Structure 1
Amino acid sequence: MIRVGNASGFYGDRFAAVREMLTGGPLDYLTGDYLAELTMLILGRDRMKDPARGYARTFLRQLEDTLDLALERGVRIVTNAGGLNPAGLAAAIRELNPRVRVAHVEGDDLRSHGFDGALTANAYLGCWGIVECLNAGADVVVTGRVTDASLVVAPAAHHFGWGRDHFDRLAGATVAGHVIECGTQATGGNFAFFTEIPDLTHPGFPIAEIAEDGSSVITKHDGTGGAVTVDTVKAQLLYEIAGPRYLGPDVTSRFDTVTLTQDGPDRVAIAGVTGEAPPDTLKVCVNTLDGFRNGMTFVLCGLDIDGKATLARKQLVAAIGADGLEWTLARTDHVDADTEEAASALLHVTIHTPDPKRAKAFSRAAVELALASYPGFTLTSPPGDGSPVGVYRPEYVPQDAVEHVAVLPDGTRTAIAPPAVTAVAPVPVPDETSPVPGGPAKRVPLGTIVGARSGDKGGDANLGVWVRDPAAYPWLAAELTVDRIRELLPEAKELDIDRHPLPNLNAINFVLHGLLGKGVAASSRFDPQAKSLGEWLRSRYVDIPEDLL
C-alpha cells in the first residue's frame, strides 16, 4: 500500500500543515487542495491585476521551508495550487531549489472554447496527466482545475500501474480521495457530534493508505488531535455530493456500494466500491462578473423593532431607490434582556447593482441617517466601496474537446487522450419499505440521533444526513421526505429538492436547488455556503420513537 496525505482543504487552510505532515510520520505522497468554485473567482481577479498571478501563492510560501525536507524524505507532492497559472507556479517552485523536478498539467482553461467573456472557465480534468508527470519522475506535480479526488487517485494509479479500465480500483481511490480532500473534515472538523471527540483543539490532517485493489484505510499521524471514526469519514463522504453515482472524468464511483468499518483506533477501512465508465462530458467551472455588491447592518435595540426597521427601509429607499436592495430582519432580540446586545435585532441590507458608484453611495447614504432616523441608531460597520460580484455556473463539454497535456520535468509535452469508454446508466432505486419503529415518541431535536453535513455547489446546497444506529434508518427514511424537509427548513419550501437514499451508509442526501441564488460569491443569504444548513436541520424538534433514543 501507499500512504497519501493531505495538507490543505481550501485556500486559507492551516499554513503549518505541510510541515506537520512531513515531520509527523511516514508518507509517500502529500497532496493539497486549494481550489473551490469561489477560489477560482478570487484567482481570476488576481490574474486581472497581474497576468503572472493566478496561482495559490500561499502554497509557494509553504514550500519555502519544506521543499528540501520533502526531497530528503522522498515525499512527492501533488497539488492543484496552480489554479489558473500552473506553469507560473511550477517555474516559481524551480527557483526555490534547482534540484527539484517539477511537472505541471495544462488544458483545463477553456476561455477560448466558446466561453469568451468569462472571467474563468476551467474544465475538471482527471488523474492521467498527473500520472504521466509521476511516471516521468516528478518530485512535485502542479495542476490547475482537476477533480479534487484526482490528486489522490493519480499517485495510486502511478504506483500500482492501474489501467484506465480498472474502474473498481479507480473508484475505490476516488472515494478515499473524496474523504481526505477537505483536510481535517475527515478527522473531526465540522463534525456533528464534535463533543464526543476528546481533543479537537488541533486536529491532525488525514492520510489514505491505499492498497493495490483500490481499498483503503483512512487514518492520521500518531499523536495528532481529532479522531478518525466511521462517522467522521461518513460525514465527509456525504459532503458536496448528489446522487449515488459520483461522476468523475476517469471513473463513475458508486457511493451506494461503499462500506465503512472501524479498523482500530483512528483507522477506518473503505471497501467494496464499484466503479463504472466515466461520463462522456467534463464539467466546466465558469465564473463571470455581474456588477457590484455592498452591504450594511442596522442595529435595532429595545422596543418597536418592526417600526424601527420600517423607518430605516423607508429612509434608505428614499435616498438611493429600491432597485437591487435585499432586506433581512434577524430577530435576535429578547424581551426584558439583561444585556444590550441581547435586546437588539439586526436589519441587514445588501445592494446588487451594475453601477459601482451607486454601490459606494449606498453605504454612505446609510451612514447619513445616523442622526435622523430611529432612536438608538447604530451600524455594525463604516461605509465601504462595494466589491465586484462573481457568478458561478456549471457547464459541460465533450471529453474529447479538451486538450489535456502533461508538461514533464524536462519540458516534454505529452497529450492525454480522452477515455475510450464512457457510459452513465440509471441507478436502481433502493428499497425503503422496511418496518418503521413505532411506539411512544418523544419530541426532541432531530440531531439527538441524526448527524448532518452540508455545503454549496454553485447556487445549490447539498445536505447529507445519517443515523449511527442501523435500526433507526427505516425511521429516518420515512421521516425525512422532500415535503418534510420543506416543513423543517421553511427557507426551502418553494425550491426543487432532490432526495438520494444511501442505505449502505444509513444516510440520505438532499440537493436543494437554488437555495444559494447565483452562488456563494453573489449570495446575500446569511449562510452563503450552506455550511450551517445541516446544523439548522439538526436543531429542529421532531417526534422520535423512544426506542431509538
Structure 2
Amino acid sequence: MPDKIIRIGGASGFWGESAMATPQLLGAGVDYLVYDYLAEITMSIMARAYAKDPAAGFAGDFIGAVLKPHAKAIAAQGVKVIANAGGVNPASCGEAARALIREQGLDLQVAVITGDNLLADLDAIAAAAPTEMFTGAGFPDKDKTASINAYLGAFPIARELAEGADIVITGRCVDSAVTLGACIHEFGWSASDYDLLASGSLAGHLLECGPQATGGNYTDWEDAGDIANIGYPIGTVSADGSFTVTKPEGTGGCVTVGTVSEQMLYEIGDPQAYMLPDVVCDVSQVEIVQTGPDMVHVSPAQGYPAPDHYKTCLTYGEGCRGGTSVSFYGFDAARKAQKFCDNVFVRANNILRGHNLGDFSETSVEIIGAESQFGDFAADFEPREVVAKIAAKHSEAAAIGILLRELTGLGLATPPGLSGFSGARAKPSPVVRLYSYLTPKKALPIEIDVDGKKISFQDGKGIAFDPATIQRPPPPQAPEGLDVVTTVPLIRLAWARSGDKGNKANIGVIARDPAYLPYIWAALTPDSVAQRFGHFIEGGAKSAKVEKYSLPGSHALNFLIDAVLGGGGMASIRNDAQGKGYGQILLAHPIAIPAALADQLDDNKGTVQ
C-alpha cells in the first residue's frame, strides 16, 4: 500500500465546458475521471429547469458528451468515473446514465448520492431562520427561494466505490470531493487521517478546474502555447498524500510551479482554514517544485478535524436585471460612450416615472477600453475604441424592458461612432442571490443508491473549529537594500490568480523567486490593496475589509476582499461579477526593489504603471 499510486484526470471544471478532456485523458491512461460541473449560479439555473420539468435539473452534458461517446472505452479500460453532474436532480441523472448503459449493452454499475437537496424542508428551515454565515443577514423571503443544497463530502463517494460502483453521480458536494473520494477508497484513509484528507482535498482542488492548472488563465499566458489543444490535468497521487501534476503528452498548455501555485490559491480564503466537510485544510506550508517538463510535485498539506456543520447554500430571487454592450470608436470614444449611457438612463427614468415604476435599485456603466476597471490608477490616455457596458436592476421585469428598449431607441440620437454586433434585443433576467448558512451534520441523512441497492449513510459528527487555535507563520523578513531603489510592477516579480467567494474576492500572489517575497510583502498591504480596489468596494476604500495571509511553503500571500463584487454571481450587474480579472489589476501595483535587483529582472513581464 505505501507504494501505491493512482492517476486521476480532471475532466471538467464547469457545466458547459469543452468535451475534449475525456478522450484526451482516456488516451493518456488514468484510473479515475472526475468531473466538476456545479457552482452556485449553476444550481439556480438547474433549479429553474427542474421546476419546469421534473426530469431535468442535472448536467445533460455528462450523459450526451461523456458517457454516450465514451462509455465503451471507459468500460474497456476499467476507468472509474465520479461526477457531481446530478445538480438538483441526481436520481434522474442516474436513470439517464443507466438507460444509456443498457442501450450500449455494457456492464457498469451506477451509484447515486442524494441528501444534499433541502428544498423540501424549506418551511422548517425558514422557521429556524439560520443567519447568513458571512454577513449575519436575516433569512430571505422563503417564497422566493430557488434552491437549497448542503455541500457534502467525500466519504459517501468512497462508500459507493466500495460497493462496486463504476460511475458515481452526486448532487452538490464540495468540488474537491470527487477526487478525495477516490483517494479514500484506494488508500483506505480514515476520518481521523487529517493530513491525508487535507492532501487529497488539495489534489482535488488542483484538478477541479481542469486546464486552469495547465496554463489556462495563467499570468504568463504566452507560455501556455497551443491552448486550442490544451492538456487537462492528471494528478498522480501517492498513499502519503503527496502528488504530481502533469498533462497528456502531445497536448498544449504547460504545467509549471506558476500554473499549479496559481490554482492552489484560486478561490480560497484563509489558507490555514480552508473549510471542507471532511477536514479543515492548511495549505500554508505546501511546497510546489518543478521535477521535469510539464511535471510538478506538490508536498502534503496539513489537516484538522472535520467541522460539525455542512456549508449550505440557498439561492433566491430578488427582482430582475438586464443590460447590454455597445461600442464606440473614433475621436473622444470614451466621452461619447459615457454621454450615450448617461442619456439612456435619463430617457428610461422619465418613462419609469410615467409608469409609476420607481427608480432602478442599482445601475452600472463600465467603459471598457478606457481602463475603468483600474479606477484612479488608470493610465492617462484617450482611447479611440471602447465598449460601453450598461446594466441595471429593478424589482419589475417591465422596468428592465424599458431600459433595454431605450438602449436601442437612442441609436439615432447618439454621438457618432456607435456600433456593435448583436442579434435580438437583450431580455430581462432574474437576479439570483446567494445565502450561505450552516446545517448541523446530524440533521442531514444521506442516501446511497447503487443500481437499486439503497444504503443510508451518516457522516461523522465533526467538531466546531476555532480559528483562534491557528498558529500563524511569521511574516517574511524585512526587505534589504532599499537605500537605492526603483519601482517595478508586481507582474515582474510574481504570478497572480483571483476568484470569487460569494460577494468576496480573493487574490493569490506567488513570488517568482523566494528572494522577491520580502519586497512584495512590504508593498502589498491591506490598505494599499483596498486603495487599488476602492472603486469596486461597497462604501469605498475607507470601508474596506481586506484580510492578508501568508503561505511560506509556496512563497505566496493571499488577500480576501469583502463586499467587492456587487453581490457576486447572478446578483451582480458588473462586467466581472466573479473577480476573475482582479489579479490582473493587482499585477500593475508598484513594488519598490533595489536598483541592482531590477537590473536582473525579465523585461518581458509587464511595464511600470
**Scaled by the length of structure 1, what TM-score is found?**
0.93
Do the aligned partners of 1:55 and 1:89 also contact (CA within 8 Å) in 2? yes
Do the aligned partners of 2:231 and 2:253 also contact (CA within 8 Å) in 1? yes
Q: Deviations over 1:262-294 (max 9, x none)?
A: 222222222242111011111112111111111
- Asked if 1:495 corresponds to 2:537, the answer is no
How many residue pairs get aligned? The number is: 542
Partner SS for 2:180: helix
Partner SS for 2:319: strand
Q: Deviations over 1:238-269 (max 9, x none)?
A: 00000122111111111113122222222222
Q: Partner of 1:435 in structure 2? A: 478
Q: Partner of 1:38 in structure 2? A: 41
Opposite residue 546 of structure 2, the aligned amino acid is: I
Which of these residues, 426, 432, 436, is aligned with residue 390 of structure 1? 432
Q: Aligned ranges for residues 81-120 of structure 1 at < 5 Å?
A: 81-98=85-102, 99-111=107-119, 112=121, 114=125, 116-117=142-143, 118-120=145-147
Q: Deviations over 1:180-223 (max 9, x none)?
A: 11101111111111223454442211111111122211122222
Give the CA deviation at 1:325: 4.8
Do the aligned partners of 2:490 and 2:520 also contact (CA within 8 Å) in 1? no
Cα distance, 1:59–1:372 mapped onto 2, change above 3 Å:
same
Percent sequence identity is 33
Q: Aligned ranges for residues 40-439 of structure 1 at < 5 Å?
A: 40-61=43-64, 62-98=66-102, 99-111=107-119, 112=121, 114=125, 116-117=142-143, 118-243=145-270, 244-297=272-325, 299=327, 302-303=331-332, 305=336, 310-321=342-353, 322-330=359-367, 332=369, 343-372=384-413, 374=415, 381=422, 383-419=425-461, 421=463, 423-426=465-468, 427-432=470-475, 434-437=477-480, 438-439=482-483
Cα distance, 1:333–1:31 mapped onto 2, change above 3 Å:
closer
Cα distance, 1:490–1:325 mapped onto 2, change above 3 Å:
closer
Give the CA deviation at 1:530: 0.9
Q: Partner of 1:537 in structure 2? A: 586
Cα distance, 1:312–1:365 mapped onto 2, change above 3 Å:
closer
Do the aligned partners of 1:228 and 1:267 also contact (CA within 8 Å) in 2? yes
Q: Partner of 2:356 in structure 1? A: none
TM-align CA RMSD: 2.3
Which of these residues, 550, 555, 567, is aligned with residue 518 of structure 1? 567
CA distance in 1 between partners of 2:385 and 2:249 (Å) = 47
Opposite residue 196 of structure 1, the aligned amino acid is: D
Partner SS for 2:108: coil
CA distance in 2 between partners of 1:179 and 1:233 (Å) = 7
Cα distance, 1:167–1:452 mapped onto 2, change above 3 Å:
same
Opposite residue 284 of structure 1, the aligned amino acid is: T
**Scaled by the length of structure 2, what TM-score is found?**
0.84
CA distance in 2 between partners of 1:262 and 1:480 (Å) = 27
Q: Aligned ranges for residues 1-12 of structure 1 at < 5 Å?
A: 1-12=5-16
CA distance in 2 between partners of 1:532 and 1:488 (Å) = 13
CA distance in 1 between partners of 2:529 and 2:172 (Å) = 34
**Structure 2 unaligned spans of 5+:** 127-141, 354-358, 372-381, 602-609
Give the CA deviation at 1:48: 1.8
Q: Partner of 1:337 in structure 2? A: none
Do the aligned partners of 1:312 and 1:374 also contact (CA within 8 Å) in 2? no
Cα distance, 1:383–1:283 mapped onto 2, change above 3 Å:
same
Do the aligned partners of 1:319 and 1:365 also contact (CA within 8 Å) in 2? no
CA distance in 2 between partners of 1:460 and 1:420 (Å) = 27
CA distance in 2 between partners of 1:433 and 1:261 (Å) = 20
Opposite residue 181 of structure 2, the aligned amino acid is: A
Greater alpha carbon shift after TM alignment, 199-208 vs 528-537: 199-208
Cα distance, 1:97–1:195 mapped onto 2, change above 3 Å:
same
